[in-house]
Amino acid sequence: MFSRSDHPHRRYNPLTNEWVVVSPHRTKRPWLGQVESTPPDTRPAYDPQCYLCPGNPRAGGVSNPPYSGTFVFENDFAALLPDVPSGELAEGLAPGAPLLHAVAERGICRVLCYSPRHDLAMPQLSPAELRAVVDAWAEQYQELGAVGWVRHVLIFENRGAMMGASNPHPHGQIWGTSFLPGVFAREHQRQLAYYSAHGRTLLSDYLALELERGERLVCANEHFVALVPFWAVWPFETMVIARRPVASIPELESAERDSLATILQQLTARYDALFQVAFPYSMGFHQAPTDGQPAPGWHLHAHFLPPLLRSATVRKFMVGFELMGEPQRDITPEQAAARLRELSLQP
């Protein structure tokens, strides 16, 4: 008899219309590949060399104010710029579908420091401190979304050197773009289509299934649920989903914002407890576009994509079949959820 816990299979992601190969039998294979180093996390509360700490000069020459809570500033080395001349390259034989196609795009890239404390991260921040971060996210989404040409706002965080973070100070980024990024655009199309067909959000129906089954839940509170999605690609990938189908963070009521802050702290604390290390990840919120167009079916959620696989020193690599075929994972989403859910957290 076929068993999802023992036999290789593929799982479908309805949010992106993509598939992932699951190979649970491979968890028994020995590992002789790369092993990461785990330097001790002994950061001071204030680092005079950190360009994100209060009062310190940044690389661009501007000094940070002596901030005591959250702090937002324009990225000194932004990947996208607000003032870009319009331009387009379109060459090729296919009418209306050029083979060589490039379009100038604009963007506003900002950095949000969560705390003046250099030695903290999301798991160590208090609920009140994280609530201030949630409020700052809402303000930035509204402020950037009000810019006439900004069609999309992505709030995200890269934690840890393994995920490319250039500074360990607790911070994230907010990018407002003149275009809908590819991953977001796929989710956008799928959610609109599902709502048009069923009159309910895709994630409302999906969340109801997960709450009924319980096998992929990690933690939950009155307003939010953290779970390992059925179609997870990364070993300990999770989603944080709002119980009420709001389209963006600004739509959350005060109690819901408190709940979001709480579940983010609880989830990231579980990550840190899993391998007893500052757990690296990329995290991002998907919210409705800011292009002024109706977006029925949009349901606020966040993705956490961490790379660690077997321990603090063994990571998952996306190579070979994953790069040229489709994603593949070993540990099942159910096993990953159980490990995160059953952790005993210190008060």
- Which positions ≥6 away from 97 have C-beta within 8 Å? none
Query: In this prediction, what percent of the chain has a pLDDT beyond 90?
Result: 80
Domain that holds residue 50: 43-341
**Residue 38, domain member (yes or no):** no
According to the model, what pLDDT value does residue 97 have? Answer: 81
**Residue 255, domain member (yes or no):** yes
CA 142 remoteness from chain centre = 19
Residue 209 clears pLDDT 80, i.e. is over it: yes
- Which positions ≥6 away from 148 have C-beta within 8 Å? none
Structural domains in the chain (count): 1
Angstrom distance (rounded) from CA 117 to CA 310: 31
**Residue 147, domain member (yes or no):** yes
**Residues in the chain, total:** 347
**Residue 29, domain member (yes or no):** no
CB-based contact 91:100 (threshold 8 Å)? yes
**Residue 19, domain member (yes or no):** no
Residue range 80-135, pLDDT digits in tens: 999 999 999 988 876 778 889 999 999 999 999 999 999 999 999 999 999 999 99
According to the model, what pLDDT value does residue 31 have? Answer: 43
Angstrom distance (rounded) from CA 19 to CA 12: 5
Which CATH number goes with the domain that contains 259? Answer: 3.30.428.10
Residue range 187-196, pLDDT digits in tens: 999 999 999 9
Angstrom distance (rounded) from CA 274 to CA 124: 15
**Residue 217, domain member (yes or no):** yes
**Residue 167, domain member (yes or no):** yes
What's the pTM? 0.94
Residue range 219-260, pLDDT digits in tens: 999 999 999 999 999 999 999 999 999 999 999 999 999 999
Backbone angles phi and psi of 9, in degrees to 5:
-160, 175
Residue 40 clears pLDDT 70, i.e. is over it: no
**Residue the block writes with tokens 């609530």:** 131
**Residue 91, domain member (yes or no):** yes
**Residue the block writes with tokens 């500052």:** 278
Residues designated as active site: 171
